[in-house]
Amino acid sequence: MTAPHRTPPFRTERFTAFVDAVVAIAMTLLILPLMEAVSDAASGKLTTAEFFHEHSGQLLSFALSFLLIATFWMGHHSQYRDVERITTPLIWINVAWMATIVWLPVPTAMLGQIDTDPLQKVVYIGTLIATQLATLAGGIYLARHPELSTAPPSTYRAGVLGDLAAIILFAAALLVAVLVPEIGYAALFLLLLNAPVSRLVDRLSRGRSRDSDVQTPGPAE
């Protein structure tokens, strides 16, 4: 009898090249609304100073989203740097991750061209949360399948804690942005607290793990 056919894992090089291409395209799409704005400014006979003044919101939204996508990409590169095999579930996790990255230019264009309202903030920051959730899913999967990577499990555990901290801070930023309109998207500066929040999440998880060990009854004598 022959052994059952097993689908071989995807090649890591092709996988990472595809992700890099998707990220590059998404970052390029961010500039398109500004290119159109330049054409409109030229038709309206605006000066350079007037252009920068009238489209300051678009410029800020472009810079913010460009920085965020670059940060997500660097995190993705770090997460998959030591991965040697890509399985089908891991592919679908990354398809979800890439979908959020490709979608981000849409709420970015809204942020720069449509008057700010609560739903706009939910769409924009919600997209960032979705990206971070996909990153978290990838980290958990890799932590549970150490045979796919040469990195020690502690590396992925640290990454998962960082992802959890980022999700908490994104959610807090969304809450502040919606409830305190005067602060708005400046609430995203809460992400600067990622390191201390990661340490807090780590302590809480270790404390819960110790409590669980204490409460687990030993073998009967």
Is the four-CA dihedral 129, 134, 135, 141 of positive or negative sign?
A: positive
Name the residue among 192, 194, 191, 188 with its Cα closest to residue 161: 194
Q: What pTM value is reported for the model?
A: 0.86
In the chain, the amino acid numbered 155 is T
How confident is the prediction along the chain (221 residues), in pLDDT tens digits per residue? 444 445 556 788 889 999 999 999 999 999 999 998 898 888 888 899 998 988 888 899 999 999 999 999 999 999 999 999 999 999 999 999 999 999 999 999 998 788 889 999 999 999 999 999 999 999 999 999 999 999 998 899 999 999 999 999 999 999 999 999 999 999 999 999 998 998 888 888 776 656 555 454 544 44
For residues 188 and 97, give the distance between their C-alpha atoms in angstroms, rounded to a whole number: 20
DSSP for 34-46 reads: HHHHHHHHHHTT-
Question: Residue 20 to residues 16, 95, 98, 197: CA-CA distances in angstroms?
Answer: 6, 12, 10, 29
Name the residue among 116, 163, 115, 120 with its Cα closest to residue 139: 163
